Amino acid sequence: MAPVIEAREVRLSFGATPALRGADVTIDAGEILAVMGPSGSGKSTLLHCLAGILVPDSGEIVFSGRRVDAMSEPERSALRRDRFGFVFQFGQLVPELTAVENVALPLLLNGTRRTAALAEASTWFDRLELDGLQRRRSGELSGGQAQRVALARGLVAGPEVLFADEPTGSLDSLGGEHVMELLTTEARRHGTTVVLVTHEPRIAAYADREVMVRDGAVHQLTAERIVV
């Protein structure tokens, strides 16, 4: 497998507080990578740099041979819209929209006609065991249902990379495992690369590989020890 996204000696500070201190990671196309670490370790900051949400102070972020960190903000916005998908801890659904409209949102932003976007979005409801919930708004969904709607929204446009930041953090253990089973099944079905941030070993176990972020640096995990 060829690397699809890489971080090379990435450093980023918030004021006087270092968040990343020379972080390196390489992610292969189609790989599901779990990024683990305690709160404040820099794992979410690393994800935001890989996704072009944050620009590092130094180092390189490379996606498909292009320097993301050297792109303009409009270029990075287009990259996030056209080639990346996102799932966050609390779903972040738009409360004024129905579930199916939330799922269709990335397609609509990409210029797909509304009828076609809603039709494509609807196909995900049976796939993610949400059939019959298309017209409900976020306040009418359980936490697990809302997170599956968010997962569908993250995958509907066929992203090359899905960034999932604590996607089960607001769910109970059973709901979290259900979301992860659906996420990994759909990602492998479509060959989507996944960068999964979590602090839970049982969630990281769904990934192909795990790395640990500690004090702003990335360490490889083996069955026996952390490799610096």
User: Which of 194, 218, 198, 219 is closest to 208 using CA atoms?
Assistant: 194
Residue 227 belongs to domain with CATH number:
3.40.50.300
Decide if 113 contacts 150 (C-beta within 8 A).
no
Residue 114 lies in a domain: no
pLDDT for the residue numbered 224: 40
Residue 6 lies in a domain: yes
How many CA within 13 A on the CB side of residue 54? 21
pLDDT for the residue numbered 226: 46
Q: What is the pLDDT averaged over residues 32-39?
A: 92
Residue 134 lies in a domain: no
Residue 176 lies in a domain: no
pLDDT per position as a tens digit, 186-220 = 899 999 999 999 988 999 999 999 999 998 899 87
Does residue 185 sit in helix, strand or coil?
Answer: helix
Burial (CB < 10 A; 0-12, 13-18, 19+), residue 179, is: buried
pLDDT band at 170 (very low <50, low <70, confident <90, very high): confident
pLDDT for the residue numbered 223: 44
pLDDT for the residue numbered 173: 83
Give CA separation, 140 vs 7, 95, 130, 176, in Å. 40, 10, 13, 19
pLDDT per position as a tens digit, 74-119 = 999 999 999 999 998 766 899 999 999 999 999 999 899 999 999 9
User: Which of 187, 180, 197, 99 is closest to 139 using CA atoms?
Assistant: 99
pLDDT for the residue numbered 1: 61
pLDDT for the residue numbered 92: 82
**Residue 76 lies in domain:** 1-83+161-167+191-228
Decide if 86 contacts 113 (C-beta within 8 A).
no
What share of the chain has pLDDT > 90, as a percent?
70
Residue 138 lies in a domain: no
pLDDT per position as a tens digit, 8-26 = 999 999 999 999 999 999 9
Residue 8 lies in a domain: yes
Residue 19 lies in a domain: yes
pLDDT for the residue numbered 34: 96
Crossing angle, helix 99-109 and helix 114-127, to 10 degrees?
A: 130
Residue 168 has pLDDT above 90, yes or no: no
- What's this model's pTM, rounded to 2 decimal places? 0.90
Residue 147 lies in a domain: no
Average pLDDT, the chain: 90
pLDDT per position as a tens digit, 127-145 = 888 889 999 998 899 888 8
What share of the chain has pLDDT > 70, as a percent?
95
The total of structural domains in the chain comes to 1
